[in-house]
Amino acid sequence: MRKPLALFIGLRFVRARKKNQLVSFVSLISMLGIALGVLALIAVLSVINASTGTMREETLKAVPHAAVTLPDDLLDWREAADSLAAAPGVIAVAPFLESEAWLQFDGRGEFVNVRGVTPETEKQILQSPDSQLQAMLDFLAETPDGIILGTRLAGQLGLYPGMQMSVTPLNSLLQRRTEDARSFQMVGVADFGFYDNDAMALVNLPVASQLLTGRDDAVPQLRLRVDDVLNAGVIAREAVAGRWPVASWNETRRSLFDALRMEKILTGFMLLMIVVIGAVNIVATLVMAVADKNADIAILRTMGASRATVMSVFVIQGFAAGVLGTLLGAAGGVLLAMNLGQITRAFQGALNAMLAPGDVYMIAHLDALILWSDVVLVCLCALGVSLMATLYPAWRASRVQPADVLRYE
């Protein structure tokens, strides 16, 4: 099958040895620049994807998939919980009460979120069942005045299981009603996720009701666990059917995940500048190639080639560098992302040091999650930028006047 004339000549120009070695060098630099930009984009976006997933998992250790706020005058909250548990997409429902309080031990204290739970139903609502937390909930069920603290909170106050501490509701603290303080016995520590390990405490629901509201029968909120985390809000609202207010996890932590999405967009945009720089080199390469091929262009024009054909020849020549750079960068980026975890671990082992302490940065090593939609989008952007970079030099080539060139040959 015969190739179109423009494609045939364009590919010949790509493979041909250049009289001007500078043209070959700049062409190589442009291809490598595009490859580097594509590689960096794929690798960095994959790291951001993995970090977002890790943050979601850490958030859901303490934040419910969805929370339903029941009215204070509701006669039977258990009936409401049973009706929600029977709704499609809802795996489990658990009651809870939560409010801020002041936790004090040995003259030191911290503001914490005290959450009252029923240990039996709390086990069913956990996003990632933790055997340690499961055991702590069993101890909590056996200890009416027991309390489970986040690992970082317990460490900050120097608390160990069996120790006694006092908890004062925030309202009582502000009104200086110290008699409202209640003593608790620590039954253990648990991992409530990176964001809540220094500010979360679990107690039994009846005790929380008395401590936080002064009533034995306060109407709790309901935590919902659903089968599709990303659509938790939709599932919860369909289950509630407009009866009560609903807040999903991605609504309560919207600012965090909006910031992550914006970070991904801005990072991608900045790294795309590497591809743009490579594309600028394509412009320089084609400008020099057009000057080098003036005589060939004139001969093509005198043999009947149209300006569109000449323009296509140089578009193909420049675009080839973009295609090769994009393919090379995509392959390198995917390979780097797939092995990034092992590379960082090996690097840390060689240095015998942690690149990012896990208690500060939440993750002790870099992981990557490749989304093929990101890979395709990055490749399309790189190809689009490369194609646009060829248009002006190719247009200049199509405007060469054969008579002016051949007159001096």
The pLDDT tens digits of the residues spanning 345-385 come to: 777 677 766 555 555 455 556 778 889 999 999 999 999 99
Spatial distance between the Cα atoms of 114 and 62, rounded to a whole number of angstroms: 12
**pLDDT value at position 198?**
73
**pLDDT value at position 52?**
83
Indicate the pLDDT class of residue 257, thresholds 50, 70 and 90.
Answer: confident
Does residue 65 have a pLDDT over 50? yes
Indicate the pLDDT class of residue 129, thresholds 50, 70 and 90.
Answer: low
Percent of the chain scored above 70 by pLDDT? 88
Spatial distance between the Cα atoms of 161 and 306, rounded to a whole number of angstroms: 86
Does residue 20 have a pLDDT over 90? no
Q: What is the mean pLDDT of residues 141-146?
A: 90
**pLDDT value at position 335?**
93
Q: Which residues, including other chains, have CB under 8 Å from residue 65's CB and lie 6 or more apart?
A: 127, 223, 224, 225, 226, 229, 232, 236, 248, 249
Indicate the pLDDT class of residue 398, thresholds 50, 70 and 90.
Answer: confident
Find which of 18-22, 75-79, 245-249 is predicted with most confidence, using mean pLDDT. 245-249
With CA atoms as reference, report the closest residue to 147 among 118, 96, 188: 188
Does residue 1 have a pLDDT over 60? no
With CA atoms as reference, report the closest residue to 301 among 406, 390, 394: 406
Spatial distance between the Cα atoms of 324 and 34, rounded to a whole number of angstroms: 9
- What integer best gives the mean pLDDT of the chain? 83
Does residue 120 have a pLDDT over 50? yes
DSSP string, 203-261: EEHHHHHHHHHS-SSPPPEEEEEES-GGGHHHHHHHHHTTSS-EEEHHHHTHHHHHHHH
Spatial distance between the Cα atoms of 136 and 190, rounded to a whole number of angstroms: 8
Spatial distance between the Cα atoms of 379 and 376, rounded to a whole number of angstroms: 5
Q: What is the mean pLDDT of residues 214-232?
A: 85
**pLDDT value at position 406?**
64
Does residue 203 have a pLDDT over 60? yes
**pLDDT value at position 353?**
60
Alpha helices in 249-371 (DSSP H): 249-252, 254-292, 294-302, 307-338, 340-351, 358-361
Cα-based distances in Å from 205 to 94, 135, 211: 11, 18, 10
> Which of 61-70, 234-243, 382-391 comes out lowest in average pLDDT?
61-70
**pLDDT value at position 54?**
79
> Which of 150-154, 329-333, 377-381 comes out lowest in average pLDDT?
150-154
- On whether the CB atoms of residues 172 and 180 are closer than 8 A, the answer is yes
Indicate the pLDDT class of residue 64, thresholds 50, 70 and 90.
Answer: confident
> Which of 23-32, 42-51, 124-133 comes out lowest in average pLDDT?
124-133
Indicate the pLDDT class of residue 326, thresholds 50, 70 and 90.
Answer: very high
Find which of 20-34, 268-282, 337-351, 362-376 is predicted with most confidence, using mean pLDDT. 268-282
C-alpha of 123 from chain center: 28
